[in-house]
Each structure stands twice: as C-alpha cells, then as structure tokens.
Copies of this chain bind each other. A is one copy, B any other.
Amino acid sequence: MGITERRERERDQTRAKIMNAARELFAREGYDTVSMRKIAEAIEYSPTAIYVHFKDKEALFGELCRQDFGRLSDAFKELARIEDPVERIRGLGRNYVRFAIQYPNHYRLMFMTSHVHSATDEIPCGKGNPDEDGYAFLRTAVAEAIAQHRFGREFENAELATQTLWAMAHGIASLQITKGNDPWVEWRPIDERAIVGLDAILRGMLVDTTKPRPARKMRKAGAR
C-alpha cells in the first residue's frame, strides 16, 4: 500500500470516528448543547484536529444527516421491485423498524431529536435528494395504493395516509428505543410488535375486500 492510500484510509477512519462520536452526542444531548470542542473531547482529539475534517458543526451535522438517511434509503431499495404497493408498504414498515433497532443512535438523531432543520436549513436532512428521502419513497407507494382504490375513503389523501403509516412505524421503533429496557412493562418481543402492529394499521386503512357487499349487489339487481 502506498503512502497516499494509507493516508487516505487513516483520514477516512478519523472522519468515521469523529462522526460516530458526534452522532452519539447529538442524539443524546441535542444539537444545540453539543460543541465541536465537546466532540473533540469525547474522542480525546484537539478541536483543531476536528476542524481539519469539518469546517464547522453545521457541516459535520449535514454530513451525518446525508450519510444516515442514505443508509435508511439503502434499507428501502430492495423493496422497490415489489409490485403490489400495499405489500411494498408492509415491507417498508418492517425494514424501517429493523433499521431503528439496528442503529438506535442513527434513528434517534434522524427522528427523535428536534433542532435538525433549524440547524441546517441549507442541507434539509433527508429531503431534497429523492434517493435519500424515505418519506417520498413511502408516499409514492401510498399514492399507487390510492390510485388502485385500496384504501378506505378517509385515506384518499396521500399525506394523511403516509403520516398515519409513519406514525405507527415510528411509535413501535421509538418506544422500543426509549422504553424497551424498562422492566415495568411486560414487553412482547419487538419483532412480534412490529409485524402485528404494522399489519393492524394497514388492515385498518384498507378497503375490506373480503366483504361480499350484499347491499350493493341487491341495489344493482333492483335497478335492472
């Protein structure tokens, strides 16, 4: 390995170390209270050493955002080929919860802390690039399902339907992250809660196609 390659690898490792420390601090203490100095202290670097890699806190935060939302959208990509929009939505929900459980610090920073957008108006975290925008990905599937008349009347608004599905997945994920280790709740296993919960919200939103709809048939027969 040449000197340039080694230097590049070391540079990447340092950046990753800084970013991991920053993510944990931001997720735990919020954007405002964490300074570049604090991040440096956490990994026993000098503040100057950090500024070599990121010009300021906003730039570091923006890079974290970009990377973490990118990782979530990677977890969605495999689902793009599911043709049935309702089954795609089901898969999105499951992968979303799985992502949250696997990367709780990422998830806390992305979806459980405020400050995010006020801090980086120029780099709106998770929005802009459609490949990184999980909300847009879900909304597209929802719009397809609506076009196929799969949802009940109150969910003909795509924003409302998307936000309802997101709330369910977020509720399952975030309760697990903050309260999953609390001994005073007899928690059912998280996998069970995710599957059963996401199935239930979908069932509650879908038009019930198993109903024989006798009323409508009778009306038709009478009209003839």
Contacts and interface: CB of A to CB of B under 8 A. Distances in A.
Interface of A: 28-30, 33, 111-114, 116-117, 124, 126-127, 135, 154-155, 157, 159-160, 163-164, 166-172, 174-175, 177-179, 181-188, 192-193, 196-197, 199-205, 208, 210-212, 214
A184 B127 contact: yes
Given A163-B185, A200-B204, A208-B208, 8 more contacts: A111-B179, A117-B181, A126-B184, A155-B200, A163-B197, A164-B200, A168-B201, A170-B175
B167 A172 contact: yes
Nearest to A112: B178
A179 B115 CA distance: 9
Contacts of A112: 112, 174, 178
A213 to B, nearest CB: 10
A167 B197 contact: yes
B163 A187 contact: yes
Given A169-B171, A171-B168, A205-B204, A117 B184 contact: yes
Contacts of A159: 186-188
Contacts of A154: 196, 199-200
